[in-house]
Amino acid sequence: MRQRACRRHGERCAARRLVPFAAIRYIFGVYESGENYLEAILILQERNGSARSADVARKLDVSRPSVSRAMSILKQEGYIDIAESGAISFTPKGTETAGKIYNRHRQLTDFIAAITGVPLEQAEENACRIEHVIDEDVFAGILRYMADSGRR
């Protein structure tokens, strides 16, 4: 399997591996690899104003056929639309889901950085590994802790 790039900074994240689209835990109504694609699209749109399959492939360091297959699944599931120009846009369902995924990523990054004092980059790499497997009640507890301690 290919090493995946950190979605936020585009750097390689050694602990992350791309796996088949349907082989990972189902969270937010989409599998982990689907979450990664949705988050990458969101980040690319925020950074560049638009996202295309080639951009997603570059960002996640995966092959274009892998992205094509993932985009097909995400479109079929009602998360994205793809214009004839190749531009990827979110449906309302996709906008909501991608926002939740990215919010979780940012919250975990902030938590890890605040609690451990490690550099933000290291906190982000660890958040990338945790965000797809953490239980909802544990994540809710982290948010409560951050709010109660005045850290967020």
Identify which of 98, 96, 92 has the alpha carbon closest to the alpha carbon of residue 44.
Answer: 98
pLDDT at 58: 95
pLDDT at 30: 60
Tokens of 35: 């979450």
CB atoms within 10 A of CB 91: 15
pLDDT at 152: 60
pLDDT at 24: 35
> Judging by DSSP bridges, how do beta strands 80-82 and 88-90 pair with one another?
antiparallel
pLDDT at 22: 42
| Alpha-carbon span 152 to 138, nearest angstrom | 16
pLDDT at 29: 55
Q: Are 88 and 82 in contact (CB under 8 A)?
A: yes
Concatenated DSSP letters of 5-51: EPTTT--EEEEEE---TTSS-EETTEEHHHHHHHHHHHHHHHHHS--
Give the position of tokens 């690899």.
33
Q: What is the pLDDT along the chain (152 residues), one digit of tens a residue?
A: 344 454 544 444 434 444 444 433 444 456 778 888 999 999 999 999 999 999 999 999 999 999 999 999 999 999 999 999 999 999 999 999 999 989 999 999 999 999 999 999 999 999 988 988 888 899 999 999 999 988 66
Q: Are 123 and 116 in contact (CB under 8 A)?
A: yes
| Alpha-carbon span 11 to 128, nearest angstrom | 12
